Amino acid sequence: MQGVPAQCLKLSGSALKSLAFLMSGVLGCAGFFVSESVSAQNPKLIDYQISADSVFEPLGGRVGVASRGAQIVQTRNGQCTLCHAIPGFNGQVGNLAPLLEGVGARLSAAQLRLRIINSSVLNPQTIMPSYYKVEGLVSVDPKWSGLPLMNEQQIEDVVAYLVTLK
Ligand code: HEC
């Protein structure tokens, strides 16, 4: 009789241990999974400095390519034509926003950059999407949570294109 409880104890002891091991494994996995997916969905946005109505430094030091920017602005990728008419673009456009014709003459690259990154800094009521913002947004599908509408390279490509609209 003496050996039984001891064995039980031993068994339950090791059962407990393996349960604890399993739990820690599961929790560890869950922790790992959560932090993985959060970091995958929350790529840290690069810090940028707003001076007056401008952002002078290219985001992440990226060099914009105007032809790629044109592609973003004139297609559904950027959705810009939902609201803006764009010179040289003959598809259907919206009229909820100023014509982008001549915008590269009216505004500098630095001014354009802030307007694409986060127009609501300049006009909290604007309907223009903040293309490089992940916080303070409402009704975002969890699938997209933490992801900006455009990445640093796309922002710079769009800025490079807008500058050409003299
Ligand atoms: C849902 C509508 C909407 C969409 C989509 C949109 N914008 Fe705008 N945008 C506006 C409005 C409205 C303004 C006017 C400024 C304001 O509301 O504060 C504006 C202003 C601007 C300005 C400043 C123009 C000026 O003359 O001062 C630029 C540049 C601009 N948008 C570029 C873009 C680009 C590029 C895209 C796509 C990547 C885009 N917008 C998508 C609504 C939109």
pLDDT tens across 57-95, in order?
999 999 999 999 999 999 989 999 999 999 888 889 999
Mean pLDDT, all residues of the chain: 81
Higher pLDDT, 36 or 41: 41
What is the pLDDT at residue 95? 92
Q: Which residues contact 102 (CB under 8 A, 6 or more apart)?
A: 165, 166
Report d(CA 80, CA 5) in Å as an integer: 75
For ligand 1, the distance from its centroid to the CA atom of residue 15, given in whole angstroms, is 63
Tokens of 147: 């992801």
Q: How confident is the model at residue 43, as a pLDDT?
A: 59
The region of weakest confidence among 2-16, 102-116, 119-133 is 2-16
Structure letter (DSSP) for residue 69: H
- Tokens 């002891």 identify what position? 13
CB 165 near ligand 1, within 6 Å: no
Q: What share of the chain is helix, strand, coil (3-state, %, to 5)?
A: 50, 0, 50
Atom 37 of ligand 1, residue of closest alpha carbon: 80
Mean per-residue pLDDT, 135-150: 90
Over residues 5-26, mean pLDDT = 41
Rounded to the nearest angstrom, the distance between the alpha carbon of 40 and the centre of ligand 1 is: 29
73 CA to centre of ligand 1 in angstroms: 11
Region 2-27 average pLDDT: 41
Q: How far is CA 123 from the centre of its chain?
A: 20
The 8-class DSSP code of residue 54 comes to B
